[in-house]
Chain A
Amino acid sequence: MGRTLLDKVWDAHAVRELPNGQTQLFIGLHFIHEVTSPQAFAMLRDLDLPVRYPGRTYATIDHIVPTDDQARPFVDSLAEEMTESLTASCRDYGIEFYDLISGEQGIVHVIGPEKGLTQPGMTIACGDSHTSTHGAFGAIAFGIGTSQIRDVLASQCLAMSKPEVRQIKVTGALQPGVYAKDVVLAIIHALGVKGGVGYAYEYAGPVIEAMTMEERLTVCNMSIEGGARFGYINPDATTFEYLRDREFAPAEGFDVASDYWRQIASDPDSSYDDIVELEGEDIEPMVTWGINPGQSVPVSGRLPVPEEHPDEAASYQEALEYMGFEAGQSINGTPVDVTFVGSCTNGRISDLRIASQLARGNKVAKGVKALVVPGSMSVRRQAEAEGLHEIFQEAGFEWRQAGCSMCLAMNPDKLQDREVCASSSNRNFKGRQGSPTGRTLLMSPAMVTAAAIAGEVVDVRTTMSAAQS
Chain B
Amino acid sequence: MNDTIIEKISGTAVPLRGDDIDTDRIIPARYLRCVTFDGLGEHAFEDDRKQDPDHPFNQERFDGAAILIVGRNFGCGSSREHAPQSLRKWGIEGVIGQSFAEIFFGNCNAMGMPCMTVDADTCEALFVAAEADPPPNFEIDVSDCTIRFGDSSVQGSMPNGPRESFLAGTWNATAVLLEAADHVDEVASKLPYIKGF
Contact = CB atoms under 8 A, between A and B. Distances in A.
Interface in A167-205: 193-194, 197-198
Interface in B70-120: 72-73, 76-82, 84-85, 99-103, 106-107, 110-111
Interface stretch (A156-164, A299-307, A326-334, A355-363): A156-164
Interface stretch (A104-112, A366-374, A427-435): A427-435
A15 B179 CA distance: 11
A71 interface: no
Given A227-B73, A314-B19, A430 B106 contact: no
Contact of B168 (A19, A24, A64): A19
A13 interface: yes
Contacts of B85: 146
Interface string A387-415: 00000000000000000000011100000
B193 A28 contact: yes
Interface stretch (A33-41, A267-275, A447-455): A33-41
A68 B34 CA distance: 22
Interface in B26-68: 28-30, 32-37, 47-48, 50-51
Nearest to A149: B81
A438 B75 CA distance: 20
A53 B188 CA distance: 10
A250 B183 CA distance: 26
Given A82-B33, A227-B102, A431-B24, A155 B47 contact: no
Interface residues of B, number: 68
B12 interface: no
Contacts of B172: 147
B132 interface: no
B150 interface: no
Q: Which of A35, A81, A131 has the most CB of B within 10 A?
A: A35
A256 interface: yes
B5 to A, nearest CB: 13
A39 B36 CA distance: 5
B165 A20 contact: yes
Interface in B158-181: 159-165, 168, 170, 172-174, 176-178, 180-181
A53 B189 CA distance: 12
Interface string A409-448: 1100000000000000001011110101100000000000
A318 interface: yes
Instruction: Identify whether the interface residues of B are mostly helix, strand, loop, or mixed.
Output: helix
A194 B73 contact: yes
A158 to B, nearest CB: 7
Nearest to B35: A38
Contacts of A79: 33
Contacts of B84: 145
B102 A197 contact: yes
Nearest to A192: B73
A387 B92 CA distance: 54
Contact of B102 (A28, A229, A427, A437): A229
Contacts of B102: 197-198, 227, 229
Nearest to A144: B79
A127 B78 CA distance: 9
B22 interface: yes
A437 B168 contact: no
A12 interface: yes
A95 interface: no
B174 A315 contact: no
A173 to B, nearest CB: 32
Contacts of A410: 29-30, 32-33
Closest 9 CB pairs of A and B: A253-B197, A145-B81, A145-B107, A147-B110, A436-B47, A143-B79, A78-B33, A155-B177, A194-B73
Interface of A: 12-16, 18-22, 24, 26, 28, 35-36, 38-39, 42, 47, 49, 52-53, 63-64, 76, 78-79, 81-82, 85, 119, 121-122, 127-129, 131, 142-148, 150-151, 154-159, 161, 193-194, 197-198, 224, 227, 229, 250, 253-254, 256-257, 260, 292, 314-315, 318, 408-410, 427, 429-432, 434, 436-437
Interface of B: 1, 18-20, 22, 24-25, 28-30, 32-37, 47-48, 50-51, 72-73, 76-82, 84-85, 99-103, 106-107, 110-111, 159-165, 168, 170, 172-174, 176-178, 180-181, 183-184, 187-188, 190-194, 196-197
